[in-house]
Structure formats: structure tokens, C-alpha cells
Amino acid sequence: MEDGPRTSRVAGRLEEHLEDFAAELEELGYASRSIKEQLRLARHLSTWLATKGLTTDALSDEVVRVFVAERRQTTTKMRSERALVPLLSYLRDLGLGPAKRPEASATGAESLIQRFGRFLASEKSLAPATVRSYCSMVRPFVLTQAGRPAGWATLSPRDVDQFVVARAAVDCPGSVGVRANALRALLRWMWREQLVDASLLDAVGRVAAPAATRIGQTAFGKEDVERLFAALSQDVAARRRDEAMLGLLARLGLRAGEVASLRLDDLDWRAGVIRVRGKRGRVDELPLPSDVGAALGVYLQNARPPGTSHREVFLGVDAPHAPITGAAVTSVVIHARKRAGIDGRGGAHRLRHSAACAVLASGGGLTEVAQLLRHEHPSVSTRYARSSLEALATLARPWPSEGAR
């Protein structure tokens, strides 16, 4: 069966957002195959909206149901309302879809997933996109196990193991790892909430990660970063804002969401430091490089929209000048990359890799990389060793001399 209408380009209204959407899915750990399926679904929706003369603001529950019903007549894949959740949530974050409806009365399984999601957001301070990803990944497990006659108390390690093995047989390697992490988080939360009688974390087991592409091959090189700056928007206000954002990404290795959440109170000009609000509620103070500080000063004095009560540093250029989102920051990099003719995918996160590789190229070590990127565990930084033989040498133990044998 065909997967929706055949088109060489997106004929509808989502074309300019698809690459940004793909970049978010990639950063959330979606496998390449899953990303392609989501993009195929988005292309079909975009074409369908165009033929109906509708905009994304019209994507109400009823409109989505009509689209899904028509899609079921042309394809056997990705044809449920649940398949559209990642795309619709992404559009909502950009302010392109209808306002999120209040939570309706949910089944026991959906209620449990909602409670788990609120826990991740409030107590673990995970980003909204990560919360959605984790809830989506554990939903099949919760739905298949929620009908137990004696409740969750009878959940056993065997039940967990059987689910993991069954899903691993059909999931892509990248999705297996993300699902395992999400399932561990769910089981840890259920043990804390006393929904299960024993800790079942060990039942998930370890997942062998697929061979990763060398970060040095995906990071932007020094010349690429210069080309990105040159390719920013020619609109004066937008360019001054984007130069400041790009400086934070390239020099300090900030994440897109961290740039978007930066507030005026986080800039300590007298001390020359910047306060960064990272993952899980972590707050760090980083030295503010003079060139980045200069770009921020130019933007704040000459380009930031006046007369607004928003305390976020970076605002939209067009009225109503709302604070930008992490997706918008990524979008700026992606569009600059495309205008500059730089190969590859991704945007803001590639600049984070670039900042780490620049530390290694200048003679720094993995400790400095971990400090710059604010990794919670130093072991996370060891993947950057593959980008530098010198860094890799710091991990190798010296060969014992003759006398020591």
C-alpha cells in the first residue's frame, strides 16, 4: 500500500518545519527509520491540509480524526492518532497548532502515564520533548500490563524481560536504548510510589549501543562555524540576535533549550559570568567570553524589542515578540547551515560537539570537555576521545617496562 500521496516535495504548510522536527527527534534518540516514518507522515498531513485549504491552527481533535480515517484508506503504516503525537506536540510548542486541550478523564493506564509524565517534568526537570518521548516509549508496556487482575503488585521480572525482548525484535537499535532508559525510569517511579512490590530495574538489563558515528565527523569545523555566522539572516534585528545565540552555542556549547531559557537576570556583567539552567534543574555559572558578551550587548542595546515585560533574553523579531523556543534556536542554525551549503543534518547540537572538539584541538583534555559541556558523569565525555588521538592517549595505560614485568 502507498504511504499517502506521492510527492517530490512537501506540497502543504509544514515544509519549513520538517528539518527542525527531524533534528528534535534525532536529539531525543529516535532511530533513523522512525524519523523517516515520522517525516513521511508529516508530508502526508501537509499535503492533506493543502488540499483541504486548512492551516495548522485547524488541527483540532476532529480534524485529526478525519485525516487519520482518510489515511487508513491508503496505507497500513502510521495510521493512528497516536502516531501523530510527536508532530502535533512539536507544532504546539512552536505555537502553530491549536491550544493544548485540558486532560480529559483517562483510563487507568493513561492516568498512570500522565502521573509519570508529571513526575518527570516537576521532580526530574526533564524538558517537555523528553517527557513526551519517555511517555510514548513506556505506553505499550503500560497498556499491555495494566489489565492485570491483581494489579501492578504482581508485576514480575519475567514480565518486564519478555516485553523488552519482544520490542527489541522489532525496534531499531537506537529506539531500543531509549525505550530501555524510559522503562527504567518508569519502574523506578513505580517502586517509589509503591505500585510494585519489588524493584524491577535489573529486569531491563543492559542494551548494547549501536556503533556511533565519530563525533569529529559530524561536528562543524572552524571554517564551517565562520560560514554559519556569514549565512545568518540579513535582517539587522534578527542577525544581531542570531549572532549572540550562535556565539553561545559555538563558544560555550550550550544546548538550544538552554539558550532559549536564558534570562536577563542570568547575565552578570560585572563578574563576567553567565548563569545556565541545564538538565534536571541544574544551574551552572560559566565565564562569559568577551566576543560573546559583546554580541549580547549589541543585541540587548540595539535589537531586542523594547517595551516588553518578558525577562527572557531572546525574543521573537515579529510581534508579539514572545520568548523563542529551543526549536526556534535550532531552526536558526539549520537555516544558516542550508544557506551556507554545509553538508549533513542537525543544527544546534552539532555546535555543541564543535565546542568540545575545539577544546581538544587547542590542547585541552576530556576533563576540560566535561567541564565545558557540564556532563553529570565524566564517562559521558569519553566519546569525544575518538575525535582526537591525543585525547585517546590519555585513556590508555602505559606499556610496562622490562623491569616492571
* Span 175-225, pLDDT tens digits: 788 888 899 999 999 999 888 888 888 888 776 655 444 554 567 788 888
- Catalytic residue (one of 90, 134, 299, 384): 384
Which of 51-65, 106-120, 375-389 bottoms out in mean pLDDT, i.e. has the lowest? 375-389
Q: Please enumerate in sequence order all residues whose Cβ is within 8 A of that of 302, keeping only pairs 6 or more positions apart, or say none.
A: 240
For residues 273 and 126, the model is more confident at 273
Q: Please enumerate in sequence order all residues whose Cβ is within 8 A of that of 288, keeping only pairs 6 or more positions apart, or say none.
A: 267, 272, 273, 274, 296
- Catalytic residue (one of 345, 375, 383, 386): 375
Q: What is the pLDDT of residues 285-313, one digit of tens each?
A: 889 999 999 999 999 999 999 888 899 99
- Catalytic residue (one of 139, 255, 304, 374): 255
C-alpha cell at 208: 548494547
Task: Match domain 121-203 to its CATH number in 1.10.150, 2.60.120, 1.10.10, 2.40.128.
Answer: 1.10.150
Active site residue 384: yes
For residues 35 and 391, the model is more confident at 35
- Catalytic residue (one of 17, 337, 349, 353): 349
Active site residue 335: no
Q: What sign does the CA torsion over 98, 104, 109, 114 have?
A: positive
Task: Match domain 217-393 to its CATH number in 1.10.443.10, 3.30.70.1520, 3.40.50.300, 1.10.10.10.
Answer: 1.10.443.10
Which of 17-31, 56-70, 87-101, 378-392 bottoms out in mean pLDDT, i.e. has the lowest? 378-392
Classify residue 279 as exposed, middle or buried by CB count within 10 Å of its CB (0-12, 13-18, 19+). middle
Active site residue 310: no
Q: What is the pTM of this model?
A: 0.59
C-alpha cell at 383: 566519546
pLDDT at residue number 370: 73
- Catalytic residue (one of 132, 304, 352, 374): 352
Closest CA to 20 of 240, 324, 268, 251: 324
- Catalytic residue (one of 279, 321, 339, 383): 279
Active site residue 43: no
First to last CA, the chain: 67
Active site residue 279: yes
Alpha-carbon separation of residue 222 from 229, 251, 338, 353, 354 (angstroms)? 11, 11, 17, 12, 8
